[in-house]
Structure 1
């Protein structure tokens, strides 16, 4: 493992040297959500030998630091910090008769960190390390082959098998920390139909960002009851745990099935439909539509999303409605049936700014299940580090984006502001207290050094603690993040 880390560091160093001498466009760039855009890809070749020798490497050096400051510390909530230093080295082979492949090696090292015993207190920065590895071996570093797949392309349809990133409504790479969320299995993405994208996937395993091995797609805890050894996503449903499945005579090993279609055939209208299921546990169907209305030099874009969640357990596990395993005052504690509605309106300038107002509502039934890093309210009302898809939750949000670069004020600088009011159910003790959230985000691309950019993120949550029949702790905190990326 030490040799792998040293080799990765050496290859990155070579890549930096090559990139510094290059005057052309970077091979790869970043979107605002930190996903990669491959500007240059390997060619099609005529032999198996050239398939390997004509492949391309893509490097990324990254630093992520986090500071979390609770307003009131408790035995469960302690001020915390984290830092990750590392990056990734991806290799894409050339394409031979439709066949190609890709491998991605990632590392996150934390030479400076909290005490081992305090790793469980880390909030946003937990994805810079593996809590399970820290607890069991004391190792704060992670190195993992998170992507390794074979691909076959025919026309505009791509088939992949192996470890891969798969972006859909509920499955995202969510690559905002050090290592992306990836899956093992089979997928197909087709753009052969005009203005239509079709996606399908069958995954048997998932690897969250803070894991070095792949695990079940939905089961919480392992046979020993360890909370960090299986799917320990922040949005996991804790009632769906290993021993609960076994005690009910059910298989604790699950698969994930995804079907998605997006269409732009009607002018100015974007349509999307998604079906995601863990067979015999839970499934969901989602419809989404966005329509662009040109108004002079502006565009007004209203959008809606409706998601219906279906219970496929039939009460076999008992109380499952709450993600945190406390179903007090839930309409039907033994059912996962629920729904979500969200709406937004974007006003976009042709120049430098965009404004959004959004709303979301969750049925007073079950919490929405989404432990695959795709956020059910994302793009409408979700703010940084927030989970606002608990039952009977209403959220209101305003957002503003401004490009100082396009305005000619500051080269390479963009900023974003979000303000959200989260109205949770006051009668459900398993749900947090109401909060108001302010989120500031700024990205600075260093144009004199292509491939290098910095990002600052600030989150401020002000909560309304409760006392009385239902007691809820003060959820207020301040969070600070700083990130550096260099791509070559």
Structure 2
């Protein structure tokens, strides 16, 4: 079975630059040009917020999309990427690679105002990558380059508010997403139905979506495999994932929930609520709460038949002041195993550049400060610290992570569409040997103005 990006968060997720304090995003294939949002955001790269799932970011985007006409409105997207990652691990081993690649994609307008189709090809080729330093996920295993047709899909308009999609496509929800934090994103084989109702001129908005996800192409792979195999089930067992969710937003308040069910594998339930409170012309206070629950299902194929359960809750408070954003967050994981996220980045508020802070029994605090420079359009910086506690499992230790991110997305002039990003993380592990980890990433992405 084929399917497409659980358009259940369709056409909204950013490509690699997500998560900068400036939320400056290089567009994914299908987007016309990079977005430079003046409002800071603390969404981490690779995460997919629930309130941006199930539909484009706004009602106006949805309307523009549905009114595109066949060949005349076909959108082409070409993106070039180069990415260096070097990591010194806790055990003193290293991962290092430098890759060059990108994507070429298109999406037609709607034939007879009902049907459109699209496709995207991706490639990542080695510029540098010692065989003994594998594991960056920039290249295929063995430090090999790869090329893959990651998206081939059709999209049907049931009506102006509802879309059915079939094929292979990227998708973005909290636990099934592109996780586009390397050279190429996850893409999926699936079928989905999603809708956006209301939301015009400040009216309440309801986003809904559901579908069946059959296979996944991991970020550094050129093959689609079953969702169960990707989650760790033995060979020969093929299970997909059924998902259904919704998000309601009115004014500065939103709340939503989504469930993922994979027979004999896992059931994941996730819910999140957000509220923002303007305190002045340039001052806003924002709050968010999240909860994840994970349970084994049926034969529990990924754990040899052993039942498991895990859960994590978290809270986040943010103060936006002009171009600055100050964030504090807390998460707590419990159950009888670590939280899992085999098909996406982890959506927890304390999940950052390297660590997710979601091990069984682990509590974590985050402090973060970011700023978008008004004097240099598109330039943003942030730094953060996460303090994690000792998890339950013996032989595992508390960790502190320190991250620094600098990003510049050029929005005007001859270099419009060029994004440069520098990320550095240091993790201090509280084990008897004082182990630590260092992670350096340098990214340059270029999206030519529309073709």
TM-score by length of 2: 0.80
Q: Distance in 2 between matches of 1:399 and 1:434?
A: 19
Could you say if the C-alpha distance between residues 42 and 311 of structure 1 is closer, same or farther in structure 2, counting changes exceeding 3 Å? closer
Cα RMSD between the aligned structures?
A: 2.6
Pick from 272, 275, 283 the counterpart of residue 288 of structure 1: 272
Q: Which residue of 1 aligns with 2:153?
A: 149
Cα displacement (A) at 1:443: 0.8
State how 1:94-133 maps to structure 2 within 5 Å: 94-97=109-112, 98-115=114-131, 118=132, 121-123=133-135, 125-126=136-137, 128-131=138-141
> Which structure has more RCO (C-alpha within 8 Å, separation ≥ 6)?
2
Aligned residues: 389
SS in 2 for 1:110: strand
Could you say if the C-alpha distance between residues 151 and 439 of structure 1 is closer, same or farther in structure 2, counting changes exceeding 3 Å? same
Q: Which residue of 2 aligns with 1:348?
A: 320
Cα displacement (A) at 1:434: 1.3
Cα displacement (A) at 1:292: 1.2
Cα displacement (A) at 1:143: 0.5
The answer to whether 1:63 aligns with 2:92 is: no
Q: Distance in 1 between matches of 2:380 and 2:151?
A: 31
Pick from 433, 437, 445 the counterpart of residue 409 of structure 2: 445
Q: Distance in 2 between matches of 1:270 and 1:316?
A: 36
Q: Distance in 1 between matches of 2:249 and 2:419?
A: 33
Q: Distance in 2 between matches of 1:415 and 1:389?
A: 26
Q: Distance in 1 between matches of 2:104 and 2:150?
A: 11
Query: In the alignment, is the contact (CA less than 8 A) between 1:433 and 1:475 conserved in 2?
Result: no
The answer to whether 1:258 aligns with 2:243 is: yes
Query: In the alignment, is the contact (CA less than 8 A) between 1:42 and 1:92 conserved in 2?
Result: no
Pick from 403, 411, 415 the counterpart of residue 377 of structure 2: 411
State how 1:316-395 maps to structure 2 within 5 Å: 334-349=306-321, 351-377=322-348, 380-395=349-364
- Greater strand proportion: 2
SS in 2 for 1:96: coil
Q: Which residue of 2 aligns with 1:170?
A: 175
Could you say if the C-alpha distance between residues 284 and 80 of structure 1 is closer, same or farther in structure 2, counting changes exceeding 3 Å? closer
The answer to whether 1:187 aligns with 2:192 is: yes
Query: In the alignment, is the contact (CA less than 8 A) between 1:356 and 1:400 conserved in 2?
Result: yes
Could you say if the C-alpha distance between residues 287 and 460 of structure 1 is closer, same or farther in structure 2, counting changes exceeding 3 Å? same
Cα displacement (A) at 1:369: 2.1
Query: In the alignment, is the contact (CA less than 8 A) between 1:42 and 1:54 conserved in 2?
Result: no
| Structure 1, unpaired ranges of 5+ | 1-25, 46-50, 220-230, 244-250, 321-333, 467-472
Q: Which residue of 2 aligns with 1:48?
A: none
Cα displacement (A) at 1:317: 7.0
Cα displacement (A) at 1:208: 0.7
Q: Which residue of 2 aligns with 1:27?
A: 32
Q: Distance in 2 between matches of 1:161 and 1:52?
A: 20
SS in 2 for 1:363: strand
* Bigger radius of gyration: 1
Q: Which residue of 1 aligns with 2:24?
A: none
TM-score by length of 1: 0.74
